[in-house]
Amino acid sequence: MAEVDIKKLNVWFKDNHVLKDLSFTIKENAVTAIMGPSGCGKTTFIRAIDRMNEIISGSRTTGEIYIDGINIYDENTNVYELRRKVGMVFQKPNPFPKSIFENVAFGPKIHKIANGKEIDKIVEKSLKEAALWEEVKDRLNDSAFSLSGGQQQRLCIARALAVEPEIVLMDEPCSALDPAATAKIEALIRELGEKYTVIIVTHNLQQAARVSDFTAFLYVGKLVEYGDTKNLFENPKSELTEKYITGEFG
Amino acid sequence: MTSRIKEKVFFTILGIPMVACLLVFFWIVFVLSSGIGTLSWNILTTSVLKGGIFEMIIGTIYLLLGAAGIAGPIGILAAVYLVEYAPSGKLTRTIDQAINNLAGVPSIVIGLFGLTFFCKQLGLGISLGAGWLTLTLMILPIVIRGTEEAIKLVPTSFKEAALALGTTKWKAISSMTIPSAAPGIITSVVLGMARVAGETAAILFTSCVLVTRGLPTTPLDPVMALAYNLFVKIVALGEPPEKVFGIALVLFFIVIFFATAAIVLRIYYRRRQPWLR
Amino acid sequence: MLRVRNSKKMLHFFKHFKKEPIEALLFLCAFFSIIVLFLMLFFTAKEGLQAFFTFGIDLIIGQTWKPSEGLFGAFPLIYGSIMVVSGALVIAIPWGVITAIFIAEVLPFSIRDIIKSIIELLASIPSIIYGFIGVLYIAPQVASLFGISFGTVALTASLVLAIMSVPTILGVSGEIISAVPKEYKEAALALGATKWQTIRNVVIPIAKSGILASIMLGFGRAIGETVAVLMVSGTVARIPTPPWNFLSPVYPLTAVIAMQMGEAAVGSREYSALFGLGLILFILTFIVNTLADIIVKREPKIRSGKK
């Protein structure tokens, strides 16, 4: 559906040069993991794909990112359309303080994708895609906060899927969850990878190995290595990558 | 693209009320400054008995300082209790609510209370002291809230480091927390003074008279004040506002001085305290 | 049984302070506010209830207020207060809330501090100065604009009161809106919502009760405002004809107390009548403030203690 082509991406926060000349291409319809030690710019990187860094004052971005052949940083780009096409799931589940139904319906309503009965259908479809439907179908009007942490995160995924994105970004989606919830979400991620281009940030090496088809290793804002996950973990090309994988630093 | 432009236009219109606020402020300053011609160093320093307004200015300052002097310590200690010692429970919540309620009492009602309690019950009559006590009630919530905020901003690690060395809780707080919070505390006291400098209703029946012979020598003497004088002259004596412009202007300056001081202090201290934000 | 339990509690209470005796002093300072509030209620009631015993319900529903003739019907005064405050709030609520939203969400960070400082200065201007400006500049404008002889009418009082109420409403609303956790805003933006859509569909619904509380506090402040309304409202103790005629002079409660207490002999009927009015004011603002407090405290979504 959508290939993400990154060309010479640089991001600064005030004087801090966070991402340095990143260039690589993320394959469509696959799960790509972005890994690296804390502070290497993983979060900044995926936020650059839906231009969420712009919200932070003092941020500056140069370079290009092509999605479906169009540079999203071009001044004519409709950033709201972009953000619809590129969904995001955050580290800490952040459902709106509204009902489960209203959370999922929020996106479609805002973008006027559907009305009335149509919205009901979309909500059901999205909740099913996020493997949450069975658990909430009888209590759609309950507050989102009545759900457990893992359920809330799946709700956030459903919310993102409801606007029919092509790319789904996930910033350490399981770091705030217990192992059982994590397992459920990891299974979900693998499923989503067949239909969407999923890019997931993780600092958990094993998770990257379990879940992703491709992996990019970032270190202090630079891309060190990128490739097929199995190959990268078994035969890393760079010494730095090898050191990270074997746990010499983290 | 047009949706972006539409949004920009919309937000510009949304900003009109804010611009209106600014315009009102500048208009007030402009209008008041037109009366600056009525002022002169002479008028400020000459006694009222000879056509000046000296005693009014000093009286206002006496009232300010006294009220701050009483409300300050009580407010600071109360805030320390609320932040550092108070157990969470019904009593603490009630105290908290009482402070909010006290802050919301109309100043005329506080003046009435001052009249019936300080002046009558405690026998102070119309006096500087009664004014102090009445105005204290108005400054108190401001100082308590401001001190609470200031203390909450001080990193608990300071206090914990002191405790780890073996001092008592109070010693840790008084030697570390309060001095660190001092800037915020001072700012809130200054804010309190700005609040009561122009206060009229509270001092109306409790401490002021139109003219005194010289300055008050004891807290039992009545006092002259800018706000009171301005009020009585316009409302009761029907003097045309133009004649009393000077008094209004001096009062305005004093209040704005304290209010600006509070703002400046806040900015200054925020820079000097690296642990803030 | 109850006596024993209570005295045990009290003993525990006092023993608690033995650990650090200074805490007793601190506690007293904090408790002072409750004492003060209680004293206020007691003494205002002491003088004020006297009026209700003397005049009964007539104090509130009586239509004529002429102390010189011994008539103490405060209804026109209450009406005057409500009229002026309503007029003020109609202007001040949209003004204050919209400005709060604008400053918290739209205004660029760089000038936010300056603007907030200016508004803080606006808020610190004492009511007598507002009254002064009202008499000197606003009243004459109203007079010439509407072709009436004196500009000291309900409209002028409402205008002045509106300007004075905006900072209160603005301040509290602004705090509440800023306290809306940014995770919700980020989630909305990540879904492709525009800034206004985020404000309208996420921020405002969350801040709703806080904004309501700010309006109540604004109401409390407005109804207790004395000096400014006294100077511009015309001080005529009559309900305007027709009752919605804002170009008529009125006499709000607070103004009456301020004006006539000076001449009331202590202990006279007028004295207690005025205290009765004061009592009404006290109770009214007490209720409004307590309600506002409850509304804010009930809000779990807003982090309390936000600096």
pLDDT of residue B1: 55
pTM of the model: 0.87
**Average pLDDT of chain A?**
91
Q: Quote the pLDDT of residue C65.
A: 87
Q: How confident is the model at residue C240 (pLDDT cuts 50, 70, 90)?
A: confident
Subunits touching A (CB < 8 Å, at least 3 pairs)? B, C
Is A128 at the interface with chain C, CB within 8 A?
A: no
Asked if B3 has any chain A CB less than 8 Å from its own CB, the reply is: yes
Closest-approach residue (CA) in chain A for C183: A94
Q: Where are the domains of chain B?
A: 1-34, 43-276
B1 at interface of A, judged by CB pairs closer than 8 A: yes
Who wins on pLDDT, B95 or B172? B95
Chain A partners of C109 at a C-beta cutoff of 8 Å? 57
Q: How many CB atoms lie within 10 A of CB C150?
A: 13
Contact residues on chain C for A81, CB-CB shorter than 8 A: 192
Q: What tokens appear for B155 in the block?
A: 């990193």
pLDDT of amino acid C306: 33
User: By percentage, how much of chain B surpasses pLDDT 90?
Assistant: 44
Mutation to test the B interface, candidates C19, C29, C120, C235, most B Cβ within 10 Å: C29
Minimum Cα–Cα distance from C280: chain B residue: B109
Chosen for mutation from A47, A79, A80 (greatest number of chain C CBs closer than 10 Å) is A80
Q: How far apart are the CA of B136 and the nearest CA of chain C, in angstroms?
A: 11
ipTM reported for the complex, 2 dp: 0.90
Residue A126: predicted pLDDT:
94
Class of domain B43-276: mainly alpha
DSSP type of residue C303: P
Would you say residue A139 has pLDDT above 50?
A: yes
Q: Can you give the pLDDT at residue C305? A: 33
Cβ neighbours of B21 in C, within 8 Å: 95, 99, 118-119, 122, 166, 170
pLDDT of residue B89: 85
Taking contacts as CB-CB distances below 8 angstroms, the residues of chain B near C37 are: 98, 101-102
Q: Do B1 and A80 touch (CB under 8 A)?
A: no
Task: Compute φ and ψ for A223, nearest 5 degrees.
Answer: -80, 120
Residues 60-99 of A with CB under 8 A from B: 76, 78, 80
Q: Kindly state the tokens that stand for C259.
A: 């004006």
Q: What share of chain B is helix, strand, coil (3-state, %, to 5)?
A: 80, 0, 20
Percent above pLDDT 70 for chain A? 99
From the list C184, C189, C206, the residue facing A52 with the nearest CB is C189
**How confident is the model at residue B253, as a pLDDT?**
92
B214-225 burial code (b ≥16 CB/10 A, e <16):
eebeebebbbbb
What is residue C304's predicted lDDT score, i.e. its pLDDT?
37
Please spell the DSSP secondary structure of A119-188, one letter per residue. HHHHHHHHHHHTT-HHHHTT-TTSBGGGS-HHHHHHHHHHHHHTT--SEEEEESTTTTS-HHHHHHHHHH
By the 10 Å C-beta count (0-12 exposed, 13-18 middle, 19+ buried), B41 is classed as exposed
Closest CA to B92 of B105, B83, B101: B83
| Domains of chain C and any CATH numbers | 58-306 (1.10.3720.10)
The torsion of the CA quartet C28, C33, C37, C42, rounded to 10 degrees, works out to 20
State yes or no: pLDDT of B64 exceeds 70: yes
Between chains, do C40 and B113 touch, taking CB under 8 Å as contact? yes
Alpha helix locations (H) across chain A?
42-49, 79-85, 100-110, 117-129, 133-136, 149-161, 179-195, 205-211, 229-234, 239-245
Nearest by Cα to C301 from C191, C177, C188, C149? C177
Q: Which of the residue ranges A75-79, B108-112, B193-197, C264-268 would you say has the lowest mean pLDDT?
A: C264-268
